Amino acid sequence: MAAEAGWPVAVVLSWRHGRSGVEVADPQAIRAAWRDLGQQLAAKRKAASLSQQDLAERTSYSRSSVANIEIGLQHVNRTFWERVDEQLGTGGVLVRGYDAVEAQHRALQRRRAEPLLAEAKFHTVAPAPREIGSFPLSTVNSPQNDLAFIDNGKLPDSFIDVETHEDLVSIFGGLTAVAESRGWNAVRPLIARNLTAFDRVVHEGGKGGVRAAYAESRWSEFMSGACDNGGAEGGTWLSRAYASSLRAGNHSLASYMLMRKSQRALDNGDARQAVTFSRRALNEENLPPKIRGLCLTRLAEGLALAGDDESLTLAKVAFAEVGGTTKNTEDLIARHCNDRYVLAVRARCHYLLGQSAETLAIIDDILSDPVPAAPVDIGMWMIYRADALAHTDAEQAATAGQQALDLANRGASVRIVRALLPLAVALRQHAGHDGVQAFLRAHRTAFVALLSV
């Protein structure tokens, strides 16, 4: 492969053949190619006598983004490169460079899918007969009514059809409603039984392909969320979901799975991983607006955790992305990402940057909205409020924390219990207050129960 004049040359180095026979560059060569492309951008910008701020304003990006792109730290979609080619009059050379590096990046993703699947090899979660026996399948609100395919081992076409996003949303909505009333651990065995049937029919029966990979990705991601909320380890399921999305060739879905990995990193306080996963997710061009909005919120929160004020700008961009409606059915997976959801992330960013007053103003406005929201979301918003109050009003912070804990207990959401731990630590020095003591005692009980899961 010959390098075009003015085109990043690092990508032509360190090639090896994948199993399909397509040449695939190794990760180091691809990273070097992004740096080369960024250096070309910097050189052409300087030749045009433009500062990074000038180019940022002309492309609707921030100056820090332009700076990061020029040193290969931030990857953006094709639209950015089209804009800079136009603004710098470079005749499309930068877009062609982007296309070449991105093609190899995608090929590398496809090559990585196979070992990821092995790493995330399906493991059966043994269902508790009592839980399954107490849960009539007919109560699930789904187009299939009683999810009969779980019992008879047959997958109807609508189950693995990549076009039937609405069907999956309906099924997952029904299961979520049950989980919110009975707890996620009551639902998890049902999902496991479904995945058992899926594994048998698709992997052993050979009913695979793009549609099956899409459905497998969605069900595996739903299982990862059920595990996270129920106190089990959901990371393996999320790895399987991401690998399946790559096999399906659905890059929007793959970005969503990377966003979920970023979310799990944030739950664990890992800013570096959160930023890395969200930036990878945003590399995909033409993301549906709500999925893109979610990816931006994860990047914003990760940067805020690292103390970067740029997070507030990103939160505003995310808010603009999710405003209005979308007819893209792929965006149904991110339907919960609305104005209120993004505002809550912005409030969290303010808190992480030490701006508690701004956090309280936004969260109080959100909580005054009478429109229903998911209990887990409301619980997390109450935690944001409690955290912002912890150093100025311990009693009110404990009250908000208790409200979040009540929601966690009602829906058996371990994620909320875990997220309350920093608040509990902060309030221990105020244990002389009756309300604080009551919250600490209740949280300790819930956390001990979490350890026994």
Q: Is residue 194 located within the same domain as residue 148? A: yes
Which among 226, 249, 272 is the end of a domain?
Answer: 249
In a domain, 193, yes or no: yes
Residue 32: pLDDT over 50: yes
In a domain, 293, yes or no: no
Q: Is residue 124 located within the same domain as residue 98? A: no
pTM over 0.75: no
State how far the Cα of 262 lies from the Cα of 43, in Å rounded to an integer: 33
State how far the Cα of 177 lies from the Cα of 164, in Å rounded to an integer: 20
pLDDT at residue 48, as a whole number: 93
Q: CA end-to-end span of the chain, whole Å?
A: 55
What are the residues facing 15 on neighbouring strands?
Answer: 25
Q: Is residue 165 located within the same domain as residue 106? A: no
Which among 206, 221, 249 is the end of a domain?
Answer: 249
In a domain, 93, yes or no: yes
Write out pLDDT tens, residues 269-314: 999 999 999 999 999 888 999 999 999 999 999 999 999 999 999 9
> CA 126 → CA 137, 188, 231, 452, distances in Å?
18, 10, 15, 17
Q: Is residue 170 located within the same domain as residue 63? A: no
Q: Is residue 62 located within the same domain as residue 151? A: no
Q: Is residue 129 located within the same domain as residue 195? A: yes
Asked whether 380 and 419 are in contact (CB, 8 A), the reply is yes
pLDDT at residue 139, as a whole number: 32
More confident residue, 231 or 125: 231
Write out pLDDT tens, residues 169-225: 767 877 787 777 777 877 888 788 777 766 766 665 555 677 778 888 888 999 999
> CA 83 → CA 80, 86, 92, 165, 188, distances in Å?
5, 5, 10, 33, 47
pLDDT at residue 277, as a whole number: 96
Compute the average pLDDT of residues 245-261: 93
Which among 52, 87, 111 is the end of a domain?
Answer: 111
**Poorest-confidence range of 17-31, 69-83, 292-306?**
17-31
Mean pLDDT of the chain: 77
State how far the Cα of 310 lies from the Cα of 166, in Å rounded to an integer: 36
Residue 144: pLDDT over 50: no
In a domain, 446, yes or no: yes
Report which listed range, 97-111, 234-248, 328-342, is most confident.
Answer: 234-248
Q: Is residue 188 located within the same domain as residue 170? A: yes
Compute the average pLDDT of residues 380-405: 93
* Alpha helices, H only, 18-160: 27-47, 52-59, 63-70, 78-88, 93-119, 129-133, 149-152, 157-160
State how far the Cα of 350 lies from the Cα of 316, in Å rounded to an integer: 12
Dihedral angle sign, alpha carbons of residues 87, 88, 90, 93 = negative
What are the residues facing 17 on neighbouring strands?
Answer: 23
Q: Is residue 145 located within the same domain as residue 176? A: yes
Give the SS3 label for residue 17. Answer: strand
Report which listed range, 148-162, 365-379, 428-442, is most confident.
Answer: 428-442
Q: Is residue 80 located within the same domain as residue 131? A: no
More confident residue, 351 or 168: 351
In a domain, 36, yes or no: yes
pLDDT at residue 11, as a whole number: 35
In a domain, 324, yes or no: no
Q: Is residue 243 located within the same domain as residue 142? A: yes
Tally of structural domains, the chain: 3
DSSP conformational letter for 125 = P
Q: Is residue 21 located within the same domain as residue 49? A: yes
Label residue 354 left, alpha or beta by phi (over 0 means left) and psi (-120 to 50 means alpha): left
CATH number, domain of 34, equals 1.10.260.40
Q: Is residue 18 located within the same domain as residue 67? A: yes
| pLDDT-derived band at 107, boundaries 50, 70, 90 | low
pLDDT at residue 450, as a whole number: 67
| pLDDT-derived band at 451, boundaries 50, 70, 90 | low
For residue 370, the one-letter residue type is P
- Domain extent, residue 431, equals 374-453
Residue 132: pLDDT over 80: no
